[in-house]
Amino acid sequence: MKEEIEFKDFMKLDIRIGRIISAVPVEGADKLLELKVDLGQEERTLVAGIKKSYSPEELIDRKIPVLINLAPRKIMGIESKGMILAAVNEGEAVLLSPDRDIPEGSRLS
């Protein structure tokens, strides 16, 4: 487990529901997919290390939580503007999903 944080630190995270609208393998990378995610008010590009767990086709229209206020980072030459949230079990990524329909851009609290 990581070190304990204060509630005020948790409140700095802006996590929203996004819908994956496209997914393509990142050239030259074994684990990476380039995702386009609809966040309601905008679309963002994210790079995620989930290629070994999910095919691009099975990700389309899937709703997932996205950390949207993470500073952008270049990964394999692609600017990733956020991070999807997933669990990892023995090296396999498992995406989290809302258990009922919720609009893109809805904030997690």
- For the whole model, what pTM was predicted? 0.93
CA 48 – CA 93 distance, rounded (Å): 10
Q: Does 109 score more than 90 pLDDT?
A: no
pLDDT of residue 91: 86
Rounded mean pLDDT, 49-78: 97
Percent of the chain with pLDDT over 90: 97
Write out the chain in H/E/C secondary structure: CCCCCCHHHHCCCCEEEEEEEEEEECCCCCCCEEEEEECCCCEEEEEECCCCCCCHHHHCCCEEEEECCCCCEEECCEEECCEECEEEECCEEEECCCCCCCCCCCECC
**6-45 tens-digit pLDDT:** 999 999 999 999 999 999 999 999 999 999 999 999 999 9
* Residue ranges per structural domain of the chain: 7-95
CA dihedral 100, 80, 4, 6 (to 10 degrees): -80
Render pLDDT for 90-103 as a digit per residue (tens, 0 to 9). 989 999 999 999 99
Structure-token pair, residue 105: 């851009």
| In this structure, CATH architecture of domain 7-95 | Beta Barrel (2.40)
| Pairing of β 43-48 and β 33-38 | antiparallel
Q: Extract the tokens encoding 5.
A: 């944080």
Average pLDDT over residues 74-83: 97
- Band of pLDDT at residue 49, cut at 50, 70 and 90: very high
Average pLDDT over every residue of 69-86: 97
